[in-house]
């Protein structure tokens, strides 16, 4: 049996968030993963399945952590918007870090080029079935923790490239929860999934203008878009502003004593901004609502210095 690189993260009830949402809120604390985010689930699973002498990609801390644990060299390509904190942590994991371009798509193109020219194994950050299989384990763990007979009223998560969304939908099917709606949150300016749904086709954003850089894919993966159109899953796509996401990060720090990144704040903002009762009023979520399962996706790319900088930038 293969060893998992991820850990079974805590599932915590939040009393304060439950009061705001009007139903029990359970937090799946993926920020507690060794690499700091849910991505270790999919990346670890993929790397174990494919086998590789060396790795290359822009899946960040997850790829660097897995490479170190497997004793493999890794090159991680990041855009210039990546905080110095993240670059340092990648290097501490033993990865070679290359900066290329302004946004995620630029770094991804360079990672693909390196993989081809230097015969490295490319580790995609979100667009691969093995990643989704790995991410599905987050739902299996939540189901086991909630206990027999329990089921959530909805799953709340952030969307960047769509890998977590695809994995969660897989996990919901495996758990017998295929009818549980997924609330997919993005920030304005990093909203490739919402834009695709509105257009009825995949779209590529002109630029990433949101400060939630970890959501910064210009095009969502095709599978995520297909899930939104096919009826296989009930997906509610919503947007919040950077200011709302940052406020959610601040409130989560105050209330839950945990610092997470802006990308995670997008999902948390659905509760702190009052979105849940609004969706109920619109008939898009049932009333009463079973417990909310919130995927707290990560916190590896933020510290207090960066939080203060974001506060100054967004409140000016």
Per-residue pLDDT at 58 exceeds 90: no
Contacting residues for 176 by C-beta, under 8 A, at least 6 apart: none
User: What's residue 53's pLDDT?
Assistant: 65
What gap in Å lies between CA 170 and CA 160, rounded to an integer? 17
Tens of pLDDT, residue by residue over 231-282, are 889 999 999 999 999 999 999 999 999 999 999 999 999 999 999 999 999 9
Q: By three-state DSSP, how is residue 11 classified? A: strand
Residues facing 77 on adjacent strands: 98
Tokens of 187: 């920030």
Between CA 88 and CA 235, with CA 37 as vertex, the angle to 5 degrees is: 140
Q: How confident is the model at residue 56 (pLDDT cuts 50, 70, 90)?
A: low
- DSSP type of residue 98: E
Chain position carrying tokens 């996990």: 171
Does the domain spanning 11-38+128-315 belong to CATH 3.40.50.1100? yes
Per-residue pLDDT at 45 exceeds 90: yes
Which of the given ranges, 67-76, 93-102, 193-202, 209-218, has the highest pLDDT on average? 193-202
Q: Note the pTM of the prediction, 2 decimals.
A: 0.93
User: What's residue 40's pLDDT?
Assistant: 94
In the chain, ranges of CATH 3.40.50.1100 domains: 11-38+128-315, 53-119
What gap in Å lies between CA 252 and CA 268, rounded to an integer? 8
Chain position carrying tokens 């193109």: 109
Tokens of 82: 């990546």
User: What's residue 195's pLDDT?
Assistant: 97
Tens of pLDDT, residue by residue over 168-210, are 999 999 999 999 999 999 999 999 999 999 999 999 999 889 9
Q: How confident is the model at residue 161 (pLDDT cuts 50, 70, 90)?
A: very high
Mean pLDDT of all residues in 32-49: 92
What gap in Å lies between CA 304 and CA 151, rounded to an integer? 36
Per-residue pLDDT at 1 exceeds 60: no
Between CA 56 and CA 267, with CA 163 as vertex, the angle to 5 degrees is: 125
Q: By three-state DSSP, how is residue 121 classified? A: strand
Helix axis angle, 262-272 relative to 242-256, nearest 10°?
80
For residue 48, the tally of other CB atoms under 10 A from its CB is: 16
Contacting residues for 284 by C-beta, under 8 A, at least 6 apart: 181, 236
For residue 94, the tally of other CB atoms under 10 A from its CB is: 14
pLDDT, the chain, mean: 92
User: What's residue 72's pLDDT?
Assistant: 87
Q: How confident is the model at residue 54 (pLDDT cuts 50, 70, 90)?
A: low
Return the CATH architecture of domain 53-119.
3-Layer(aba) Sandwich (3.40)
């Amino acid at each position: 049996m293969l060893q998992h690189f991820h850990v079974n993260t805590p599932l915590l009830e939040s009393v304060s968030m439950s009061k705001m949402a009007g139903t029990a809120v359970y937090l799946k604390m993926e920020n507690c993963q060794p690499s700091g985010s849910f991505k270790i689930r999919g990346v670890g699973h993929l790397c174990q399945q494919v086998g590789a002498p060396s790795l290359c990609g822009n899946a960040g801390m997850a790829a660097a952590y897995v490479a170190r644990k497997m004793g493999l060299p890794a090159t991680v390509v990041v855009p210039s918007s990546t905080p110095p904190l993240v670059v340092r942590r990648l290097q501490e994991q033993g990865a070679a870090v290359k900066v290329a371009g302004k946004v995620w798509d630029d770094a991804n193109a360079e990672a693909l080029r390196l993989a081809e020219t230097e015969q490295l194994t490319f580790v995609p950050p979100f667009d691969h079935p093995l990643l989704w299989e790995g991410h599905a384990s987050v739902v299996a763990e939540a189901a086991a923790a909630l206990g027999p007979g329990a089921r959530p009223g909805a799953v709340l998560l952030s969307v960047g490239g769509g890998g977590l969304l695809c994995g969660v939908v897989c996990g919901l099917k495996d758990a017998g929860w295929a009818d549980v709606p997924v609330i997919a949150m993005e920030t304005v300016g990093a909203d490739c999934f919402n834009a695709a749904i509105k257009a009825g086709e995949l779209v590529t954003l002109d630029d990433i203008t949101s400060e939630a850089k970890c959501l910064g894919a210009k095009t969502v993966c095709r599978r995520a878009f297909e899930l939104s159109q096919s009826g296989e899953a009930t997906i509610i796509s919503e947007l919040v502003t950077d200011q709302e996401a940052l406020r959610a990060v601040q409130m989560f720090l105050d209330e839950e004593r945990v610092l997470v990144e802006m990308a995670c704040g997008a999902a948390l903002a659905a509760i702190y901004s009052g979105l849940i009762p609004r969706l109920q009023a619109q008939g898009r979520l049932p009333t009463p609502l079973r417990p909310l399962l919130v995927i707290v996706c990560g916190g590896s790319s933020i510290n207090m210095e960066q939080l203060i900088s974001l506060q100054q930038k967004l409140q000016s």
